[in-house]
Amino acid sequence: MFRTERPATAIQTSIGAIFVSMELSRKTWLITTLLPGNGEKMSKYPVQAGNLAGLFDLFLKLRERSQEKTGQVWPIVTIQEAGLDGFWIHRSLEKEGIESYVVDASSISTPSRKRRVKTDRVDGEALLRVIMAYMRGEPRVCSMVQAPSPEEEDRRRIGRERKQLIAERVEHVNRIKGLLFSQGVADYEPLHKDRRRCLEELRTGDGWPLPKHMRDQIDRELDRLELLLKQIEAVEDERDTLISVETADDKASPVAMLLGIKGIGIEFANVLASECFVRQFDNRRQVASYAGLAPTPWQSGKVNREQGVSKAGNPRLRTTLIQMSWLWLRHQPNSALTQWYQARVAHNGGRGKRQAITALARKLLVSLWKYVASGVVIEGAVIKEA
């Protein structure tokens, strides 16, 4: 998702372009511009949110104004932060031949003052300085987001919807159990198929039937829970159908290759393929950084300590990898990664399992990336028979 590195190029001292930053909100887009021949003066223009025609009219006026001052026609370079608006504005700009960039806002350096000024006007000017530095070729200015195609963006919605539905299911189950626990009932399972019959037979801790209003509330909770279960089943069926089509058409697809490894099921393979392996990475550091599993050292003088993983990447991918790492220990006990984990935990006297599993998740992701991208089989891993 993030293009964290650019090819080594000489820093350019002068770039002829109309630079535009866009601070997007639900009501107003604040457009900050810097025109050639206008010195260092930054101009700001409000545009109603969603008014692409008004935005393109503004760009036309900017071109005409810069042409009057310099006698040349300059290209337009825009930048916006990745956020709620998604990528439709970026695609619309590129369709009109405008060079557009989407930046990861957390990668932009900010003043370290305890109370710093933050307004749309200040942020718009900061984005202009970032895009100009980026276009000059200055290294590590920011991380630009690689916009997914509409097909890739739509493909990953299946896994994300399922994850959201599972979280809602957990909420309803916990609410039902909490209501019953307040009456001394601790052995009721709302996910069992006979949940309605078991609810009829429940008695409070002091031997009375469930109170009427509580029983009505639990019935309504079960109605919502059963609707969620149907929706989860529908999403999983859609996912399974899509994966079966992909694997049938392309035996070397990332999903097909991942499903060939023991311990990786359909859901894990779907998340890894749709959230990670649809992107191009140059090295293992970019892979770990995208998942938010890259280390973050703190070094200053004699101070040298590790702050843990960055957590700056894809949270869905990171959570899936942690879950998959625990299952990897069970299903792949003879792999080199499992042996490395066991040796590290044993060296620490059985302590630090959480830190070690995070490190294992990073190693596992890099190894799977090498396997999918280059066919390098993980050492000692068991491959399923076709």
pLDDT tens over the chain, length 386 residues = 444 445 544 444 456 899 999 999 999 999 999 998 777 789 999 999 999 999 999 999 999 999 988 888 899 999 999 988 889 999 999 999 999 999 998 888 888 887 888 888 999 999 999 999 999 888 888 889 888 889 989 999 999 999 999 999 999 999 999 999 999 999 999 999 999 999 999 999 999 999 999 999 999 999 999 999 999 999 999 999 999 998 888 778 899 999 999 999 999 999 999 999 988 888 999 899 999 998 888 888 888 888 888 888 889 999 999 999 999 999 999 999 999 999 999 998 888 899 999 999 999 999 999 999 999 999 999 988 65
pLDDT at 15: 65
Report the alpha-carbon distance of residue 270 to residue 243 in Å, rounded.
Answer: 8
Under DSSP, is residue 283 helix (H, G, I), strand (E, B) or coil? coil
Q: Which CATH architecture has domain 2-147?
A: 2-Layer Sandwich (3.30)
pLDDT at 303: 87
Q: Within its chain, how far is the Cα of 329 from the centroid?
A: 25
- The residues that bridge with 300 in the sheet, in sequence order, are 303
pLDDT at 276: 92
Q: What predicted TM-score, i.e. pTM, was given to this entire model? A: 0.82
Q: Within its chain, how far is the Cα of 304 from the centroid?
A: 30
Report the alpha-carbon distance of residue 359 to residue 142 in Å, rounded.
Answer: 26
Per-residue pLDDT of 225-272, as tens digits, reads 999 999 999 999 999 999 999 888 877 889 999 999 999 999 999 999
Q: What is the dihedral of CA 226, 227, 233, 237, to 10 degrees?
A: 160
pLDDT at 14: 58
Per the CB < 8 A criterion, the answer to whether 111 and 100 are in contact is no
Report the alpha-carbon distance of residue 144 to residue 2 in Å, rounded.
Answer: 6
Under DSSP, is residue 19 helix (H, G, I), strand (E, B) or coil? strand
What's the burial of 364, exposed, middle or buried (CB within 10 Å: 0-12/13-18/19+)?
Answer: buried
Per the CB < 8 A criterion, the answer to whether 146 and 2 are in contact is yes
Q: Would strands 18-23 and 76-81 be described as parallel, antiparallel, or unpaired?
A: parallel
Per the CB < 8 A criterion, the answer to whether 107 and 143 are in contact is yes
pLDDT at 258: 94
What the block records as the tokens of 68 is 């009057």
Report the alpha-carbon distance of residue 245 to residue 158 in Å, rounded.
Answer: 15
Report the alpha-carbon distance of residue 361 to residue 374 in Å, rounded.
Answer: 20
Write down the number of H helices and E strands in the chain.
Answer: 13, 9
In eight-state DSSP terms, residue 332 is: -
CA atoms within 13 A on the CB side of 280: 6
What's the burial of 76, exposed, middle or buried (CB within 10 Å: 0-12/13-18/19+)?
Answer: buried
Per the CB < 8 A criterion, the answer to whether 158 and 270 are in contact is yes
**Tokens 């491959």 sit on residue:** 383
Pick from 130, 148, 133: nearest CA to 79:
130
Per the CB < 8 A criterion, the answer to whether 249 and 240 are in contact is no
Pick from 294, 249, 285, 256: nearest CA to 272:
256
Task: Write down the H helix ranges in 250-300.
Answer: 254-259, 266-275, 284-290
User: Which stretch of DSSP H or E encloses residue 45?
Assistant: strand 43-48
Per the CB < 8 A criterion, the answer to whether 324 and 330 are in contact is no
Pick from 311, 308, 312, 314: nearest CA to 295:
308
